[in-house]
Amino acid sequence: MNKIIVAIDGPAGTGKSTTAKILAKKLGVLYIDSGAMYRCITFLVLKNNVDVNDVEKIISLAKDAKIELSDEKVVLNGVDVSKDIRTLEVTNKVSTISKIKEVRKILVDKQREYANENSVIMDGRDIGTVVFPNADFKFFLICDLKTRAIRRQQDFLDLGQKISLEKIIMEIKKRDDIDSKRAESPLRKAKDAIEVDTTNMIIEEQVDFLFKKITNTET
């Protein structure tokens, strides 16, 4: 297979990461979770008690951050932070940190580096619009709010955090709102992206749908 770049974008809880991870394995390509990178910077901000308005300090944390992504874990400055970056505290702040233009530039450069030598599947918010506008395949996943919230609630439960559905619905709405209204690289469907509504799909169906589009094996 020639080198390919697959971009998967969409709001929180549409199943992007799970789909992308399985798909990457099936295709034998590298999977990059760009949201994990924004979460790492947010985690550092919280851990170091940095004010979210202290943009200079946040930029310097982002510049110095050594993020290593693999299928199994996210390693930040030598420490496994796979679970720490998924807590509600990080989730609640990540959209604010992601708005910072310079932070985005630092992380987008890193994201593009991954694709220099590898075929990649990358999921996020601006992958098909900004990071890889020439991606070979672009998908935009959508899903109704309640279904997304139920999926997120299970993710938090897996981490040992029991959170009410109402609270999660509020968190998702707020995050979608900030992510889609920000000035820098807002969440938006690329003109040439294929929209996939995952509301009534199980993960296997989502993976299968994208796999067939990519390998051109639709029946």
Give the up-direction half-sphere exposure of residue 152: CA atoms within 13 A in the CB hemisphere: 28
Q: Is residue 148 involved in binding ligand DC (CB under 6 A)? A: no
Q: Is residue 128 involved in binding ligand DC (CB under 6 A)? A: no
Tokens of 61: 């944390």
Question: Residue 94 Cβ, how far from ligand DC at the closest point, in Å?
Answer: 4
Q: What is the C-alpha separation between 103 and 63, in angstroms, rounded?
A: 8
Residues 172-191 binding ligand DC (CB under 6 A) are: 175, 179
Tokens of 189: 């469907």
Residues 43-82 binding ligand DC (CB under 6 A) are: none
Judged by beta carbon, residue 19 or residue 98, the one nearer ligand DC is 98
Cβ 9 vs Cβ 141: under 8 Å: yes
Q: Is residue 38 involved in binding ligand DC (CB under 6 A)? A: yes
Question: Residue 51 Cβ, how far from ligand DC at the closest point, in Å?
Answer: 19
List 14, 19, 95, 206, residue binding ligand DC (CB under 6 A) = 95
**What is the three-class DSSP state of 80?**
strand
- Sole residue written with tokens 């979460």: 39
Q: What is the largest CA-CA distance in the chain?
A: 54
Total binding residues toward ligand DC, as defined by CB under 6 A: 14
Residues that bind ligand DC (CB under 6 A): 12, 34-35, 38-39, 94-95, 98, 124-127, 175, 179
